[in-house]
Amino acid sequence: MKWFLPFFLAIISHYSFAAERNYLDFSLEQLVDYDIYSPPVLQSHIHWAGELMVAYHYSHTRTDGMGSAETALSTHDVFNDYTYMVTPTAMNMDMHMLHFMYAVSDQTTYMLRLHHMAMEMEHETRMGGEFTTQSNGFGDIAISMNHQVNEWSDHEGNVRQFVHASLLLPTGDIDAKDTTPMSGGGQVQLPYGMQLGSGSYQARFGLGVDKLTAKDSFGAFLMAKGALDKNDAGYRIAPEASLDAWYQRSLSNNFSAGLSGSLTWRGDISGRDDRLNPNLVPTADRDNYGGQWAEMGASVSYLIDGTYRVGMSASLPVWQDLSGLQLRKKSVIELILELTL
Amino acid sequence: MKRDFIFQKIFSLAVLSTMLCFMQPTLAKNSALKAAYVYQFCQYIWWPDDKEDLNIAVVGGQNSDFESIAGSIVDGKKLKVKYLNSLGASNGGFDVYFFFKGSEDIFNKMVEVIPKGALTIADEGFAADKSDAVLYLVRVGTKLKFSINQDVAKTNSIGFNSRLLKVAHPVEKTTVNKGLIKKQGFNNRVSDDRVDSFVAKR
Ligand SMILES: [Cu+2]
């Protein structure tokens, strides 16, 4: 819980230093080139007062093959080195996200996020059998705020500072069940990673900075997220922290392309769900969660009529260091549709 | 377990109320950007030499929108800002008029009292007759730009520095939007062929 404190203090202190900036330093040429739309990065997304935005994101995340620390392991390796009866071999997650944003002022935008997930995990047993488990449903609803605390301009463009705060509500299911060859036709509790929600209230805080110039924009965002307490199943999901950096370049008035990089750290699950047998499959053992990931991505975005934005992005891990034994991340593909009113 | 639950509720409320603290009105950024445009325009217009101050009328906005430029000096001339929100006897006699989106009615009524030689500027998305404003802001892709109505400028004997002409977003002759423009309440006094020549390329 202690990690909350610095973020909380940072937000409060940023707030008290909030300064006005003006555009009078801009030349006429800079004014006509100034991007009045926030770059297509959700964390530093703010709108002009009164604007309403609805955004739909679809993402497909693929994990494939097992690994431990930085090493990839084959199914054969897993059954040789460990005593588990079953190992996952791959997992696909399809997520549909709906964001509603409303700007109460030119500095503050509130967001509501709803998302639906469908997960599918493929397994192999020690005897050579294969089976798949599935779960799907709505996840934890998030209520968020992006607030621009500061903005100043230099001869090249505008620098903005942001704070982000979110409250995630435990609306997602933590009792998702499915049948397995070992369950004798009955429904059994699915492991932590196949659950749709966290079961706890979670808070997320972030600090960001970006710079918008006539031709490009770039920025970085630091975020931390954690559950406030254990859920009804007796565990608390792993806290997470990430650092994102991105660069966007306008190729025309409407078209932009970008590159991004991220570092993610995920801690351990605390407590345990007693409905799971940690000796059966790695995913049921809370020690096989957490790790560190470095990812790189590319994106394109096209603005139609100043109202719609369509975009696409893809990212790949360039480095991963996994705690215990778990699936390795392969790729994330995302499609974005935004409507600003 | 019960204590945990209460703790979660309290912490959640704290996070939510922190978020709500930010819900106070702050300086409008879009108007600050528009004010900066007006500031630049004042710089690139040929004003009569004997002018000491530039009186700016801001129509239809909040009463603090152009605070950032009020009192600034442009070319030895002091910018004086006045906010007009309704029709009144004092509506004439300004050097610059800025019309915010939503003040179309006032604009159409005021056209008569605006003195010849005054610089009129219309906000982006302004639905009334743009061809009666000398300059108007326009959204192009992700940017906010401006266009010039050369003919209106000529009728009003307003001269521009060539830099303003160079940076302005070009106005292209088009007839496609004519019907739509009429529907949106374009001034009836303007003949169709004048509309043709003043529709900005979007
Ligand atoms: Cu948005």
Where does the pLDDT of residue B175 fall: very low under 50, low under 70, confident under 90, or very high at 90 and above?
A: very low
- Contacts within 8 Å (CB) and 24+ apart, A38-42: A39/A210, A39/A212, A39/A217, A39/A219, A39/A246, A39/A248, A39/A256, A39/A258, A40/A248, A40/A256, A40/A258, A40/A299, A40/A301, A40/A309, A40/A311, A40/A336, A40/A338, A41/A210, A41/A219, A41/A221, A41/A244, A41/A246, A41/A248, A42/A99
Tokens of A128: 């050579």
Measured on CA atoms in the order B122, B128, B133, B138, is the torsion positive or negative? positive
A130, A123 contact by CB (below 8 A)? yes
B146 pLDDT more than 50: yes
Q: Give the DSSP letter string of A227-276.
A: ESS--TTSEEPPPEEEEEEEEEEESSSSEEEEEEEEEEEE---EE--TTS
- Supply the pLDDT for residue B22: 64
pLDDT at B196 over 90: no
- Buried (b) or exposed (e) across B131-168, using 16+ Cβ within 10 A? bbbbbbbbbbbbbbbbbbbbebbeebebebeeebeebb
Q: Which residue has the higher pLDDT, A282 or B91?
A: A282
**8 A C-beta contact, residue A291 and residue A328:** no
Q: How far apart are CA A267 and CA A292, in angstroms?
A: 9
Which chain A residues contact residue B69 at CB under 8 A?
A: 24
The CB-side HSE value for B112 (13 A sphere, CA atoms) comes to 8
B3: confidence class by pLDDT, cuts 50, 70, 90: low
Distance of CA A5 from the midpoint of ligand 1 (Å): 28
Q: What is the pLDDT of residue A5?
A: 59
**Cβ contact, residue pair B141, A110, below 8 Å:** no
Confidence of residue B67 (pLDDT cuts 50, 70, 90): confident
**CB crowding A185-205: b at 16 or more within 10 Å, else e:** eeebbbbbbbbbbbbbbbbbb
Residue-wise pLDDT tens digits, A210-230 = 888 777 888 999 999 999 888
pLDDT of the residue at B160: 86
Half-sphere exposure of A121 (CA within 13 A, CB side): 27
Q: What is this structure's pTM?
A: 0.74
Which class in CATH covers the domain with range A4-340? mainly beta
Tens digit of pLDDT for each residue in A157-206?
778 888 899 999 999 999 999 998 888 888 999 999 999 999 999 999 99
CB contact, 8 Å: A200 with chain B? Answer: yes
Considering only alpha carbons, which residue of chain A is nearest residue B202?
Answer: A305
CATH 3.30.300 is the classification of domain B29-201: no
| Chosen from A5, A21, A26, A106 to mutate, greatest number of chain B CBs within 10 A | A106
Let me know: does A213 contact A181? Beta carbons within 8 Å.
no
Provide ipTM, 2 decimals.
0.72
Contact A162, A47 (CB under 8 A): no
Structure tokens belonging to residue A61: 């995340």
Query: What are the residues whose beta carbons fall under 8 Å from the beta carbon of B112, sequence distance 6 or more?
Result: none
Burial of A108 (0-12, 13-18, 19+ CB in 10 A): buried
Find tokens 């109320």 and name the residue. Answer: B17
Q: Which of A23, A145, A252 faces B36 most closely, judged by CB atoms? A: A23
The Å distance, Cα A303 to ligand 1 centre, comes to 13
Q: Is the pLDDT of residue A36 over 90?
A: no
Residue B126 CA to residue B142 CA, distance in Å, equals 18
What's the gap in Å between A45 CA and the centre of ligand 1?
A: 5
User: A318 near A311, Cβ under 8 Å?
Assistant: no
What ranges do the domains of chain A cover?
4-340
Q: If pLDDT is split at 50, 70 and 90, which confidence band does A87 have? A: very high
Between chain A and chain B, the number of residue pairs with CB atoms below 8 A apart is: 125
Kindly state the average pLDDT of the residues B46-64. 82
Chain B, nearest residue to A142 by Cα = B16
A48/B30 Cβ within 8 A: yes
Nearest to B143 among A33, A144, A165 (CB): A33
Choose from A35-39, A313-317, B69-73 the range with maximum mean pLDDT: A313-317
- Kindly report the nearest CA distance between residue B137 and chain A, in angstroms: 10
Average pLDDT (A301-320) is: 87
How far B48 CA sits from the closest chain A CA (Å)?
Answer: 22
pLDDT given at position B14: 76
Give A 239-278 residues with CB within 8 A of chain B: 250, 252-254, 256
Residue A106 pLDDT exceeds 70 = yes
* B183 has pLDDT over 50: no
pLDDT at B176 over 80: no
Q: What does the pLDDT look like over A115-167, one tens digit per residue? A: 999 999 999 999 989 999 999 999 999 999 998 888 777 767 778 888 899 99
- Mean pLDDT for chain A? 87
The answer to whether A108 faces chain B, any CB pair under 8 Å, is: yes
